[in-house]
Amino acid sequence: MADETSADINNPALQPNGEDTSPAIGLISQYVKDLSFENPNAPAVYQWQDAPQVDVQFNIAAESVGENLFEVTLKIDVTSKTDSGTSFVIDLKYAGLFGVRNVPEDQLQPFFLAEAPRILFPFARRVVADAVRDGGFAPLLLEPIDFHGLFMQQVQAQAEAGELGDTVPVGQA
């Protein structure tokens, strides 16, 4: 019995008052923050025979929005063009609200710029596919993205830039 009590006392996550001090991050909510679909050449676009060239751009931002609350926004910009003109343009900001408790500061950026976008991306991908389909085109299924790999590339680039004395903004991927 004494061993069990001493084990509880030695466990920093178990406090006598019952407070849980273990690190935790949880998704509270996710939502479309901003969505724009433009079809500037309708109805002529539906008669074009050219294969479209699709350009997809991503950006990730994270910001504190309250005590222990952070909003991570995945921005996706898609432009589809043919030789005849622009077929459609989509601008999507898809966000998630995350609650954070007892997480070391140095672990927040890797989570917000790699793991949080990985969680949000499948839902943002569906919003893009539905908007394109609702615009009268075949659904656009975005390829999966290795957010962790992109984050690691950014960290490496920042480390190399730091060796050269340059500064690279932090908080965007």
Alpha helix segments (H runs only) across the chain:
2-10, 105-110, 116-134, 147-164
The mean pLDDT value for 4-33 works out to 71
Q: Are 59 and 75 spatial neighbours (Cβ–Cβ below 8 Å)? A: yes
Q: Give the C-alpha separation, 27 to 30, whole Å.
A: 8
Per-residue pLDDT, averaged over 74-102, amounts to: 96
Amino acid at 107: Q
Q: Which of 42, 117, 114, 133 is closest to 76 using CA atoms?
A: 117
Q: What is the pLDDT of residue 155?
A: 83
CA dist 83 to 51, 87, 133, 159, Å?
9, 10, 21, 41
Band of residue 161 on the pLDDT scale cut at 50, 70, 90: confident
Q: Which residue has the higher pLDDT, 148 or 2?
A: 148
The amino acid at residue 75 is: K
Check residue 11 and give its pLDDT. Answer: 55
Q: Which structural domains are found in the chain, ordered by start?
A: 22-163 (3.10.420.10)
**70, 28 Cβ separation under 8 angstroms:** no
Distance in angstroms (rounded) separating the CA atoms of residues 73 and 172 = 10
- In which band, very low, low, confident or very high, does the pLDDT at 17 lie, cut at 50, 70 and 90? low
Of 81-95, 134-148, 151-165, the poorest mean pLDDT is in 151-165
pLDDT digits (tens, 9 = 90+) for 89-143: 999 999 999 999 988 888 888 899 999 999 999 999 999 999 999 999 999 999 9
164 or 163, which is more confident: 163
Q: Is the pTM of this model over 0.85?
A: no
The pLDDT of residue 14 is: 54
pLDDT at position 1 is 47
Query: What confidence tier does 170 reach under pLDDT thresholds 50, 70, 90?
Result: very low
Say whether pLDDT at 84 is over 90: yes
pLDDT in tens, 36-50: 999 999 999 999 999
